[in-house]
Amino acid sequence: MLIHDLLDRPDTHPGPALEGLALISGMSPQLAHLPVPAGDRRHRTAPRVTAVVLTQDEEDTIGRCLDALTQDVDEALIVDSGSSDRTLDIVAAHPLPTRVVHAPWQEDFAHQRNLALDHVHDGWVLMIDADEVLAPADAGTVRRAAVLLDHILPHADLAACPLVLDDHDPAGRYPDLPRLVRARTALRYRGRIHERPYDSDGNAPPTVHLTTVLRHHGYHPTVITAKAKLDRHARLTALCRAEEPDNPKWVFYQARAELPQHTGPEAARSLFGRLAAAPARDGLPPCDYTDERRQDTWVLLCELALRFGGSDEIDTYTALLERAGRGAEATYFRTVVTTSRSLRVLAGLADTAADAVRETACADIRVMGRLHELHGLLSLATGRYEHAAPALGAALALGAGTFLSAELERLREEIGPKDPAR
């Protein structure tokens, strides 16, 4: 039996050894196609789990973070970068066993995480931010997931990804952030910011997706301002760009950060040019560390092209997105472009109809009435509602306008105020 067979039919495999199958929502194909190990591991000792928390002045959040982990970890390893508030006092007083490693901040999140990995030698490591909290309903699931993964994937050097939810952004759902790795992993983090674990060739590990939820609350506007997070992110991204000029993902991160300021067409076109000219690695060996944001770059290029009306550019990058399996995003941008083109054509036809009404000396009242009705219908279709009603009046006066009148009445019924008595 293969692992994907086990996951497809979890109800047919009861027992303590497999009770955590429901915690897995998916996994990389190379893991799913491995055979299920033989043997009964029900009585195997649960692995040790160590939480790693990077801190620097986290007195407002560290207590809640540790409180939520008491059922899931055996200890917390705190990598502190010189806290001057009560962070370490709160850590020391917490009932959860803790260790503190003092590590001066070197403008490098990957360095801090790798340092933590050097201090943990057994079991599993859960990377959790000080401003994250394990959801109360999921208490105990991290430990259960570790037990299960030791049973079905005992030798795989993998990363498990809980679902990270941003409490201050309804769209902030991150199902692919590697957070749980084996203590003896060969993986190491790379990137001063947006750091992730990679193998020695710079490729991402196979992943297991968990239903476990971590709630992140560090991006409230007041917190961002108080901790100058945007300035820090920009500084670290600039350092990465300077150190790795041939890595196109740092251009992507810079462009994404600048997007809110590039709202006008010319500014958007300028940013588009910079992003489109990012170094390409064609001909070089593929590597996740440099290529992992390639498809996201295409999405961002489409977003920028919308702002300056770059329909040809959108055609180019939506084709790439389609081939990459991101059809939903390709459909969105293509539909917006097609709709925009259609509206421009319809608006031109509306103007043509209006010109015909003004300029044509036609004795055929029926034809003139139809022209007024056509002008009104095209105005309705293109959102020029202020022209639709006068055109209807002129059409009705000339014996036309029946269809336009019906359309306007239907529109009023759909979007107008509802009569509570009806």
User: Is the Cα dihedral 346, 348, 349, 354 positive or negative?
Assistant: positive
Q: In terms of Cα–Cα distance, which of 247, 213, 41 is closest to 142?
A: 213
Clarify whether residues 135 and 54 are in a common domain.
yes
Return the pLDDT at 330: 97
> Which among 36-50, 269-283, 304-318, 377-391 has the top mean pLDDT?
304-318
Per the DSSP assignment, residues forming a β-bridge with 337 are none
Q: Is residue 233 part of a domain?
A: no
Tell me how many domains the chain contains. 3
pLDDT exceeds 70 at position 350: yes
Average pLDDT, integer, range 170-197: 96
Clarify whether residues 248 and 114 are in a common domain.
no
Range of the domain at 146: 3-222
Both structure tokens of 181: 């790795």
Return the pLDDT at 213: 98
Q: 160-181, pLDDT tens digit by residue?
A: 999 999 988 888 899 999 999 9
Return the pLDDT at 15: 57
Both structure tokens of 90: 């709160």
pLDDT exceeds 60 at position 340: yes
Helix (H) or strand (E) holding 125: strand 124-127
Selected residue with higher pLDDT from 286 and 233 = 233
Q: In terms of Cα–Cα distance, which of 33, 20, 50, 53 is closest to 150?
A: 20
Return the pLDDT at 13: 52
d(CA 128, CA 113): 11
Selected residue with higher pLDDT from 299 and 402 = 299
Q: Is residue 232 part of a domain?
A: no
d(CA 265, CA 9): 53
Average pLDDT, integer, range 73-78: 98
Mean pLDDT (the chain) is 90
- Among 295, 325, 355, the domain boundary falls at 325
Question: What's the CATH code of the domain at 30?
Answer: 3.90.550
d(CA 189, CA 52): 14
pLDDT exceeds 70 at position 392: yes
Return the pLDDT at 279: 76
What is the number of other CB atoms lying within 10 angstroms of the CB of residue 302?
26
Alpha helices in 35-86 (DSSP H): 62-67
Both structure tokens of 101: 């490693």
d(CA 238, CA 10): 47
What is the number of other CB atoms lying within 10 angstroms of the CB of residue 359?
8
Q: Is residue 72 part of a domain?
A: yes
Return the pLDDT at 422: 46
Q: Which of 57-66, 78-87, 108-117, 285-294 has the lowest mean pLDDT?
A: 285-294
Clarify whether residues 158 and 289 are in a common domain.
no
d(CA 128, CA 126): 6
Clarify whether residues 215 and 344 are in a common domain.
no
Clarify whether residues 298 and 397 are in a common domain.
no
Query: What separation in angstroms does the CA of 39 have from each of 44, 77, 259?
Result: 11, 34, 54
pLDDT exceeds 60 at position 327: yes
Clarify whether residues 346 and 270 are in a common domain.
no
Taking a C-beta distance cutoff of 8 angstroms, is the pair 180, 150 a contact? Answer: no
Q: 89-147, pLDDT tens digit by residue?
A: 999 999 999 999 999 999 999 999 999 999 999 999 999 999 999 999 999 999 999 99
Q: 215-271, pLDDT tens digit by residue?
A: 999 877 888 888 888 899 999 999 999 999 989 999 999 999 988 877 789 999 999
Clarify whether residues 172 and 86 are in a common domain.
yes
pLDDT exceeds 60 at position 389: yes
Q: Which of 67-81, 286-300, 360-374 has the lowest mean pLDDT?
A: 360-374
Q: Is residue 354 part of a domain?
A: yes
Clarify whether residues 37 and 71 are in a common domain.
yes
Q: Is residue 149 part of a domain?
A: yes
Q: Which of 34-38, 59-63, 249-253, 356-360 has the lowest mean pLDDT?
A: 356-360
Selected residue with higher pLDDT from 417 and 354 = 354
Clarify whether residues 147 and 276 are in a common domain.
no
Clarify whether residues 193 and 138 are in a common domain.
yes
Clarify whether residues 85 and 208 are in a common domain.
yes
- Among 272, 290, 325, the domain boundary falls at 325
d(CA 264, CA 266): 6
Return the pLDDT at 138: 97
d(CA 53, CA 128): 6
Return the pLDDT at 184: 96
Helix and strand numbers (H, E) in the chain are 17, 12
d(CA 101, CA 90): 15
Q: Which of 33-42, 115-124, 229-238, 341-350 has the lowest mean pLDDT?
A: 33-42
Return the pLDDT at 352: 92
Q: Is residue 229 part of a domain?
A: no
Q: What percent of the chain lies above the pLDDT cut of 70?
A: 92
- Among 284, 304, 325, the domain boundary falls at 325
pLDDT exceeds 90 at position 63: yes
d(CA 149, CA 32): 12
Return the pLDDT at 42: 54
Clarify whether residues 36 and 114 are in a common domain.
yes
Burial of 388: CB neighbours in 10 Å, binned 0-12, 13-18, 19+: buried
Q: Is residue 228 part of a domain?
A: no
Per the DSSP assignment, residues forming a β-bridge with 166 are 216
Q: Is residue 209 part of a domain?
A: yes
pLDDT exceeds 50 at position 320: yes
